[in-house]
Amino acid sequence: MSGTPHHGLDPRALRDRVTAPSAIDLPAVGEDLVWRPVTAADIDLILDLERAAGEVDHPRSLVLRDELEEEFADETFVPEHDAVIALDRDGRAVAYGSATAPSSPETIFWVELDGTVVPDRRGEGIGSALLAWQEARGLQHLASCESTLPGWLAVGADERATRTIRLLEANGYERARWWLELERDLAAPLPELPSPSGVRFVPYDKEWAEPTRSAWNDAFRDHWGTQPMTAAEWAAGDRLQASRPDLAVLALAPDESGGERVVGFVLVDVTPEEWPLRGGSFGYISSVGVRREARGQGLARAMLAHVLRTLRAEGLGRAVLDVDAESPTGALGLYQSLGFTVNDRSVSLVKRF
């Protein structure tokens, strides 16, 4: 499931293409640092570290506690094996890094590397040592895969995180894809667009969770790097405090059985903790999708117009969303035609196997 082409693939299984260490030593850099595996009891330490690093690396967004809790609860993430942390003499987290195997690889075995170093300890070689550990664990994940899928070690970074990007590129990672964050002032005039004929709009609720997940998997099947979302991953997203199903919209169309099916969706998060970082209230449009057979009817535009008016009625000042700069559906042009403008950029860096 992905629009990502894979040419000239090695026909051997990943486990035969990748050489991975049988054991990984903890990083040893930093005389005052204690490196150790991670447990769920470290979530508060990690959150403090992420917040401090975020002020430099992604100053307009926050890592939230319940996001970390859901990450640690995911059965594919085993923190004692998949993550390390470094503490200074005061017990402060100075560095944290993880390497997480995918839950449902279909076209890519994508291992996500996530890590950071507190800003006042950068330049000491801590980040390089952390990345070396993450890569070693990532190679172990790749070497566990019996399929012939392409293997990726991948990292996402805000373009402001220049030190991180330089470190990754120096270690063989390539800038593979750019992502744009767009914003729209809700005080400006908003379009009123009717739903296409035969389609009705309803708010999202748990009754529609599985049909919406199915629609999401179909809608993003041809998007770069996207893999199927599992039911457990979808449920974890629904549990986040930021999730606002009352502000979201589903597009329902008749199905062959006489019922209705989800053919499109716009999902919304609201995180008041982030409002001071942007100078005012906003709603985050976390996902916009239309099943492939329902494209070309103006459905995405109509759903977005509906949601923008809903956000304004909620008293929010702006709408924010992210988009693949090279989206195959022309999403960037759609958003710009609705008044969204580019604010920030981030990049996916990948090492391929």
62-110 pLDDT tens trace:
999 999 999 999 999 999 999 999 999 999 999 999 999 999 999 999 9
Other Cβ atoms closer than 10 A to 75 = 8
Say what the pLDDT of residue 9 is.
Answer: 65
Question: How far apart (Å, rounded) are the C-alpha atoms in residues 196 and 334?
Answer: 17
Say what the pLDDT of residue 287 is.
Answer: 98
Mean pLDDT throughout 308-323? Answer: 98
Residue 7 pLDDT more than 90? no
Residue 195: band (very low, low, confident or very high) from pLDDT cuts 50, 70, 90: confident
Considering only residues 7 and 187, tell me which one the structure prediction assigns the higher pLDDT: 187
115, β-bridge pairs: 97
Burial of 67 (0-12, 13-18, 19+ CB in 10 A): middle
255-297 pLDDT tens trace:
999 999 999 999 999 999 999 999 999 999 999 999 999 999 9
What are the φ and ψ backbone dihedral angles of 346, each rounded to 5 degrees?
Answer: -135, 170
Say what the pLDDT of residue 328 is.
Answer: 86
Question: How far apart (Å, rounded) are the C-alpha atoms in residues 338 and 288?
Answer: 14
Helix (H) or strand (E) holding 70: helix 65-73
Say what the pLDDT of residue 192 is.
Answer: 87
- Listed residue (114, 67, 98, 87) closest to 241, CA to CA: 67
What are the φ and ψ backbone dihedral angles of 38, each rounded to 5 degrees?
Answer: -105, 150
Is the whole-model pTM more than 0.85?
yes
Contact 156, 37 (CB under 8 A): no
- Listed residue (194, 201, 202, 183) closest to 301, CA to CA: 194
Mean pLDDT throughout 107-134? Answer: 98
Say what the pLDDT of residue 8 is.
Answer: 55
Question: How far apart (Å, rounded) are the C-alpha atoms in residues 181 and 325?
Answer: 9
First-to-last CA distance in the chain? 19
Helix (H, G, I), strand (E, B) or coil at 245: helix
Domain range annotation of the chain: 14-172, 181-347
51's CB contacts (< 8 A; 6+ apart) are 62, 63
Tokens of 350: 């990948």
Mean pLDDT throughout 11-21? Answer: 96
14-172 belongs to CATH 3.40.50.300: no
Instruction: Residues 181-347: name the CATH superfamily.
Output: Gcn5-related N-acetyltransferase (GNAT) (3.40.630.30)
Helix (H, G, I), strand (E, B) or coil at 92: coil
Question: How far apart (Å, rounded) are the C-alpha atoms in residues 13 and 351?
Answer: 17
185, β-bridge pairs: 318
CA distances from 82 to 14, 22, 99, 187, 225 (A): 19, 14, 5, 45, 22
The mean pLDDT value of the chain amounts to 95
Residue 60 pLDDT more than 70? yes
